Structure 1
Amino acid sequence: MNPTQTSATDPQGSLAARTVALLGRVPDGLLIDGVWRPAEGDRTFTVSDPATGLPLVRIADASPRDALDALASADRAFPAWARVAPRERAELLRAAFEELQRRRDEFALLMTLEMGKPLQESFGEVAYGGEFLRWFSEEAVRIQGRYGITPEGTGRVVVSQHPVGPCYLITPWNFPLAMATRKIAPALAAGCTVVVKPASLTPLTTSLFAQVLLDVGVPAGVVNVVPSTKSGPVSAAILDDPRVRKLSFTGSTPVGRDLLARAAPGVLRTSMELGGNAPFLVFADADLDAAVAGALTAKFRNIGQACTAANRFFVHASLVEEFTARVTEAVAAFETGAGTQPGVTIGPLIDSRAVAKSEELVADAVARGATVRTGGHAVEGPGSFFEATVLADVPADAALMREEIFGPVLAITTFESEDEAVRLANDTEYGLVSYVYTRDLARAQRMIERLATGMMGLNVGVVSNAAAPFGGWKESGLGREGGPEGIREYLQTKYTLTPDPFA
């Protein structure tokens, strides 16, 4: 449904009116030094609704020169912001949390409009994204060092923590609020200033959130926002500049490799949250009700467009037929449509390229012997929709067993032994998250030890939590976001030796 049209559940056009009013409140410029301004040459680009393909708004399209202006702003603001008392920084983040909750309706609607996820999931993201503001408001006052005597007794060791400096934060399109708060909150809590480049497919939520930060009193220049369709040149300009001291990126592994290479000459601190190929293991002793419910959540949350989405479902041979039948029945009942419509489970994919990729992966798997149990096709437009799909008997050589699917396709294969399950699960260059369903405590402990992933969901289908360290092993990334570990990514350590005060 076009968001400007009415429906049976919206007879007075209240959705259309709210949409127009909301889009009118979203800043359409670049945020540099506390001011929303046009891009160089007044360049703009269009942000569209993936449910309709129709334009929502046009916003400023930053150039490399604009990006350097934003970095200069962050650099000027850094010394004063680093000296702001931790309690004051904490209170500003807490105020932003409160304001975000107050405006949850408009943030949820905006995310659904520009990204496509069902409205109920957008409300969930508002809650999840807000928790990073609340968590890091509390961590801001807990930055600690240490003091102690040297082993020889000849002096005293003082270890202190200091903000790394201006940071460049690159956020993805799939969680436009949570990925912004997950990076901005720890940076500000640590005393850093930031330049944020949101994905050009979904920049509106980040811009509206940045305005919230200004509204609650975050000083000019502390947060700068440069949406751009020129990601490569903009990033190159910033990363080649010695004033930037930290890079945080969430996105694909190939782009992450390129950014690491660009960051190497300046020896920048880097945090990389990259691709995933999550295995979902269902052992013979699993609670099947819990496993089916967890599979649906782990696969189809955010329409499958999440780095944590379960990609490869390995089910013990004794359960595979019943598991497949129950999952298929549930998925066949999913409703596909615009995320603003009540009852929708599967919204649009982000664009036509995402639809084409899902089509190609399903076709390849079927050609190699997989069976389509439900779904398997693109939905005729308008919008970029793909049916929720279940594939059974997926062979190991299918492309979707090696590549991140990033779509609503659940691929099932089988195993006979624990060793085989572990081998299959670890047979990937990625290592972000794994999911395990078993009631055997000893086996669960073995999986913690044996699965090569930075996170694991044990009998649960969602692992993300602001209080926990989010991140992967191998080619899934470097560093952690969230938890006490998250703020450390924005701090650097200084050791000072002082004389023995009693000498």
Structure 2
Amino acid sequence: MIKEKEQLTLSDSMHFGKKNLYINGELIPASDQNYFSLICPGTEEETAEIAWATKKDTEKALLAAEEGFKMWSQTPVEERLEWIAKLSSKLFEYEDLLRTSIMHEMGKVWEGTAEDFKSITDSLAFYSEEIKDRQDIPITDKEGTHTHHIKQQPIGVVVAFLAYNFPLLNLGFKLGPAIAAGCSIILKPSEFSPLSAYILGEILHEIDFPKGVINIICGDVVNVGIPLCESKIPRLITMIGSTETAQKLIQQSSKTSIKRYSMECGGNAPFIVFDDADVDKAATIGAALKIGNTGQICVAANRYYVHEAVLQQFLDKMKSHFVAATLGFGRDGNPSMGPLANVASVIKVKGIVDKALNQGGQLLFGGKAPDRKGYFFEPTLILLPDANLPILQEEVFGPVAMVVPFKTKEQVLEWANDSDAGLASYVFSQNNDILAFFAEHLEFGEVQLNGIKYDIYLPHGGVKNSGIGVDCSSYAMDDYLTKKRVTLEKS
């Protein structure tokens, strides 16, 4: 059970104790009693012991979800919404605990944890309203001999694989539409940030949420990932993560049955700044996308294309934001940028910097991990001489901005679209014709013009290798519902 809130010491160095799997409404250790040590990226100290699921535990979760769906799908919408409201209310009671757990599992600055918490509560509220509007849809019979309507019903058991970068945001984007629609769900958080999800399991246990509807397990690919995918029980596999992971999940899950997929995969966002743009605003947003969450954002700008006429102005502004960034962990001092989530990320980001410099890049700021405890990396600014360098095809997922000058809109459009990824893109210009041109021709699921906006009611998804389906908005609900045509011949 959850410790009493007054007993929690919200220090920079704290241990959350042993956290158990949540299966069929119960908090249980792994069947082999195995726990793994979760390391806080800000302190490099153990912050929790996480139950590490076995294949037997995975099978138990699948059977629990199957039984949970039979019950939950037949539960009246009004009753489902009462349970969702009860869960949401309890989440607010434990907001401080949940945000603190995110800070310690992910290394987020305290202010950054608010987005995660708001996202899960917003998702539960949004989809509670959205399901009310999912009524039967009539279809007019052209000959007048029959009546027809479309019934929208929950698809079945959902399996959700979650990325580490936004532990509760990613979870909320899947949990909200699933349980509102009447599906049961198995949540598989990343091994790098499972703590807040396991605490959610404790909260669900505390309020006696209906058994089997929500199940939370974490473990390795062999004992958890593959069994979840290869089982015939799930009807929807949904994920937030890399393109490579999505390909593996689709391959594994299609071996036994046809399933539906909803996957938000990697991005390689272009950030285009024209000579007539508000350069101060563009640089402020461009820097925030690298400082915020330490650049570990799927929609973060990756390739900065800046018109040669304003290149130096943009670089100077970006550098000033990076110079002003304060690295740190915890609430004290209110740092603006935390560590990367794990040591592997530090190695990867340093490798990207080295490749960029070896390919002719000029280091303007940062470029290294500071000499301190924690998985920190400096915000880094690199000027590249060529838009065709191989490094520009790699998703950074860290605080590194690589800038390339351009001359014409046709030139930069070709560069921007030269990627297998197609998630987010950004354009800054005061010319409406230019904005309309890029809105039409950029090959990305999202085109943000002169600003940035994300919210639960706005669809979020990619094209090309950046995914299938969408998260957020009413469109996401479609993935969790089947459409059944019912036809009656008139007598």
Q: TM-score, normalised by structure 1?
A: 0.92
Moved more, 475-484 or 79-88: 79-88
| Alignment correspondent of 2:253 | 263
Q: Is contact 1:26-1:204 (8 Å) kept? A: no
Q: Is contact 2:35-2:51 (8 Å) kept? A: yes
C-alpha displacement at 1:187, in angstroms? 0.3
1:474 pairs with 2:484 = no
1:303 pairs with 2:330 = no
| Alignment correspondent of 1:7 | none
- Aligned AA (1:219): P
In 1: Cα distance, 2:334 partner to 2:388 partner = 36
In 2: Cα distance, 1:145 partner to 1:286 partner = 48
| Alignment correspondent of 2:94 | 103
Deviations 1:302-343 (A, max 9, x none): 100011111000111111110001110111111112143323
Q: How does 1:66-215 map to 2 (within 5 A)?
A: 66-215=57-206
| Alignment correspondent of 1:460 | 451
C-alpha displacement at 1:61, in angstroms? 0.4
In 1: Cα distance, 2:190 partner to 2:114 partner = 20
> How many percent identity over aligned positions?
29
Deviations 1:259-318 (A, max 9, x none): 111122311111111100000111121112211121122232210001111100011111
Q: Is contact 2:242-2:266 (8 Å) kept? A: yes
After superposition, the Cα gap between the structure-2 partners of 1:125 and 1:358, relative to the gap in structure 1 and judged at 3 Å, is same
Deviations 1:463-503 (A, max 9, x none): 32100111100000001111001111101110111012xx4
In 2: Cα distance, 1:485 partner to 1:358 partner = 34
C-alpha displacement at 1:20, in angstroms? 7.6
Q: Is contact 1:294-1:459 (8 Å) kept? A: no
- Aligned AA (1:259): L
In 2: Cα distance, 1:288 partner to 1:94 partner = 44
Q: How does 1:377-392 map to 2 (within 5 A)?
A: 377-392=368-383
In 1: Cα distance, 2:85 partner to 2:149 partner = 31
| Alignment correspondent of 1:5 | none
Deviations 1:39-94 (A, max 9, x none): 02111101110112111111210011111100100101111100112122223323
In 2: Cα distance, 1:86 partner to 1:244 partner = 22
Deviations 1:155-175 (A, max 9, x none): 111211111111111111110
Q: Would you say how many aligned residue pairs link Structure 1 and Structure 2?
A: 486
Q: How does 1:46-85 map to 2 (within 5 A)?
A: 46-85=37-76
Q: Is contact 1:277-1:431 (8 Å) kept? A: yes
SS in structure 1 at match of 2:104: helix
Q: Is contact 1:130-1:178 (8 Å) kept? A: no
SS in structure 2 at match of 1:457: strand
SS in structure 1 at match of 2:448: strand
SS in structure 2 at match of 1:285: coil
| Alignment correspondent of 2:339 | 348
After superposition, the Cα gap between the structure-2 partners of 1:102 and 1:410, relative to the gap in structure 1 and judged at 3 Å, is same
- Aligned AA (2:236): K
In 1: Cα distance, 2:427 partner to 2:12 partner = 45
Q: Is contact 1:431-1:475 (8 Å) kept? A: yes
Q: 5+ residue gaps in structure 2? A: none
After superposition, the Cα gap between the structure-2 partners of 1:20 and 1:166, relative to the gap in structure 1 and judged at 3 Å, is farther
Q: Is contact 1:163-1:190 (8 Å) kept? A: yes
Q: Is contact 1:27-1:36 (8 Å) kept? A: no
C-alpha displacement at 1:239, in angstroms? 1.9
Q: How does 1:407-446 map to 2 (within 5 A)?
A: 407-446=398-437
C-alpha displacement at 1:249, in angstroms? 1.0
Q: 5+ residue gaps in structure 1? A: 1-13
RMSD (Å) for aligned C-alpha atoms: 2.1
In 2: Cα distance, 1:333 partner to 1:58 partner = 36
C-alpha displacement at 1:378, in angstroms? 1.2
| Alignment correspondent of 2:387 | 396
In 1: Cα distance, 2:13 partner to 2:136 partner = 45
Q: Is contact 1:286-1:438 (8 Å) kept? A: yes
SS in structure 2 at match of 1:378: coil
Q: Is contact 2:58-2:223 (8 Å) kept? A: no
| Alignment correspondent of 2:479 | 489
- Aligned AA (1:97): S
Q: Is contact 1:97-1:131 (8 Å) kept? A: no
Q: Is contact 2:16-2:48 (8 Å) kept? A: no
- Aligned AA (2:479): E
| Alignment correspondent of 1:6 | none
Moved more, 154-163 or 94-103: 94-103
| Alignment correspondent of 2:227 | 237
Q: TM-score, normalised by structure 2?
A: 0.95
| Alignment correspondent of 1:358 | 349
In 2: Cα distance, 1:216 partner to 1:444 partner = 50
1:282 pairs with 2:301 = no
C-alpha displacement at 1:27, in angstroms? 6.5
Q: Is contact 1:431-1:453 (8 Å) kept? A: yes
In 2: Cα distance, 1:112 partner to 1:88 partner = 34
Q: Is contact 1:177-1:209 (8 Å) kept? A: no
SS in structure 2 at match of 1:431: coil
In 2: Cα distance, 1:147 partner to 1:330 partner = 55
In 1: Cα distance, 2:18 partner to 2:103 partner = 17
